[in-house]
Structure 1
């Protein structure tokens, strides 16, 4: 039994490690092919990450990525591909910003209202895809892609000054108005003016703990994993598969709604045209690399955040900062390939072990028969 657990642990780490090694090697080849130093960019990025202010940026970005990846992971564990996290995140952030800017409440109540609105909007938007899948059999991949486009159009319409947006004097930017200070989530100031770690980053970590507990220590988590493994088998054991699909999509959307809160409540305090986009798609990469494990997702979020923030200084040394984007894309490709290779190796390894155990059992039986 111990040996089996050891093998499973090794195989669990083998996939991500192999993906990172392959992505690093391919990025080095790309640099060589372009006639650039293949190792200097990595040194520059690590040097940049040694500064305290960059480390704060990495941690803050990782918190946002972590929540987006958790939203994706909830769907993955149900064998659902919620590709609409980005639309759910942006629409939820905007609606939360609109509500937060329009009211003034005591601090905790104000923050709670903004967070609840964000979760509700995210859950509602993903729930549409869940409803279509359970009632009409529409693929969640198709419906969430379409809902991403609709969310983009809705945000663009609502932020117009003639509707719900505002245009600051002397600026071409459009915003939802600033949330009063009572709605700001307090952060953790760092020494020597290195910045502030968003308070909601710690909430993100708490969500990871809650995700692990719900998935591994509750009946709901068991039903979710069972339905994801085999819907027919789960139904045979008394699980309402359609209810689980809809519930999972609602939870995934609610967590996606939280992904905008670190930035909204800790930094911008408004939704504008400059608000980060593409977070949901990055979350897919992180969930894949982290293998839907909360700890693995955390490490993957830190890695992707490191690539994002440390690559900003590459321009100063004559290197394109898009090197980090290339590496992220190669990680996605490498993850798919490496996980399949590891899976096949694991199957062969299990078959080999079963064969060895059968041979050992046959040999023992032969010895007993000979003794008799």
Structure 2
């Protein structure tokens, strides 16, 4: 590997490593300030990783986080902030649950139909923000935040028994999906079952990497995100790229809730997980929009979620994990900017040294010719 490549890898790793280190230190300070042991809570959570049932729960949760973070990363690559992933995945999951409960086709047709339902629902919902941005100049941040609220209202409306809802006690549901739409998981016996759609998450990560690094579309996407003016000068339509990126981001977001919907709950109800879209933002930032980096970040977030309940049994508040997640997000922003500035200064010094060396060499050559 060339020296330049080594330096680039080190710069890429420096940001998340510094962010995690700072987050651990700040979390320890919070624990000390509250009169608690600053090390024991982390030791307890690390110990949980050794239990197979916790490992399964971490993998399952990370699957949801990974897909949501990929959706956010697609927008980030285009310099777009799709903060509406939460509404897109919830609406996608509910529409999928409704279709799965009211249609009973052979599994070979039912499963692709449900996947497409989630994809098109998410894409449609994010596409509204995309159209508003390219036609009216409305910020995608504002538009997607408002669409999140509208999505929540739509879900409440569709939960009504006279629409698509089914009342089960005090819980609103969409009814149980037909078994032809269920995705069997990987059964590990007493340890639990890994969601079958973890395979979908892996395929999405591979597809994301190929599309971004091995296709003309990926080049146009990255170029437009870096500079719309430069991209337009090379023949790329920036408005088309904005709309396409928003559609793709929403399409992936629509799939984020399906691993648990099709692999576990088989219905959309009041207990369905929320907030995954917002967590995906922090995970995408920590993973630097890289499919591999996002995978590690998703596992870290899932570990904090699934290992922290054990703290309650040892006299610690499990909210320390939430505090740490917030500190990671704050640290990521600061550390990445610091690493970027440091890398830029190193590059400037290296270029300056090369130019100076070239000047000296050229001066000496001129003297030799003159002599």
What TM-score bracket applies, with the shorter chain setting the length? over 0.9
- The 1-side partners of 2:348 and 2:3 are apart by 15
- The 1-side partners of 2:86 and 2:275 are apart by 6
- The 1-side partners of 2:275 and 2:135 are apart by 29
Could you tell me which of 301, 304, 322 is aligned with 1:304?
Answer: 301
- Matched residue SS, 1:167: strand
Unaligned regions of 5+ residues in structure 2, if any?
none
81-90 vs 149-158, which deviates more?
149-158
Q: Which runs of 4+ in 1 moved over 6 A?
A: none
Give aligned pairs, total.
369
92-101 vs 357-366, which deviates more?
357-366
- Matched residue SS, 1:83: coil
What's the CA shift string for 1:230-282, capped at 9, x where partnerless? 11111111111111111110000000000011010111000000000000000
State the partner residue of 1:162. 162
- The 1-side partners of 2:57 and 2:362 are apart by 64
Structure 1 position 316 matched with structure 2 position 313: yes
State the partner residue of 1:12. 12
230-239 vs 282-291, which deviates more?
230-239
State the partner residue of 1:180. 178
- The 1-side partners of 2:211 and 2:162 are apart by 44
What's the CA shift string for 1:182-241, capped at 9, x where partnerless? 1101111114x1111111011101100000000100111111111111111111111111
- The 2-side partners of 1:157 and 1:323 are apart by 36
Could you tell me which of 204, 227, 230 is aligned with 2:227?
Answer: 230
- The 1-side partners of 2:311 and 2:7 are apart by 40
State the partner residue of 2:123. 123
- Write out aligned runs for 1:82-97 (5 A): 82-97=82-97
120-129 vs 229-238, which deviates more?
229-238
- Report how far residue 369 of structure 1 moved: 2.6
Structure 1 position 22 matched with structure 2 position 22: yes
What's the CA shift string for 1:95-115, capped at 9, x where partnerless? 110010101111121111111
What's the CA shift string for 1:102-130, capped at 9, x where partnerless? 01111121111111101100000000000
246-255 vs 156-165, which deviates more?
156-165
- Write out aligned runs for 1:264-275 (5 A): 264-275=261-272
- Write out aligned runs for 1:239-258 (5 A): 239-258=236-255
State the partner residue of 2:341. 344
Could you tell me which of 266, 276, 279 is aligned with 1:279?
Answer: 276
- Matched residue SS, 1:275: coil
- Write out aligned runs for 1:187-198 (5 A): 187-191=185-189, 193-198=190-195
- The 2-side partners of 1:357 and 1:7 are apart by 17
- The 1-side partners of 2:150 and 2:313 are apart by 39
State the partner residue of 1:365. 362
- The 2-side partners of 1:236 and 1:356 are apart by 33
- Report how far residue 370 of structure 1 moved: 3.3
- Report how far residue 68 of structure 1 moved: 0.2
- The 2-side partners of 1:102 and 1:253 are apart by 24
State the partner residue of 2:212. 215
- Report how far residue 367 of structure 1 moved: 2.6
- The 1-side partners of 2:5 and 2:66 are apart by 27
Unaligned regions of 5+ residues in structure 1, if any?
none
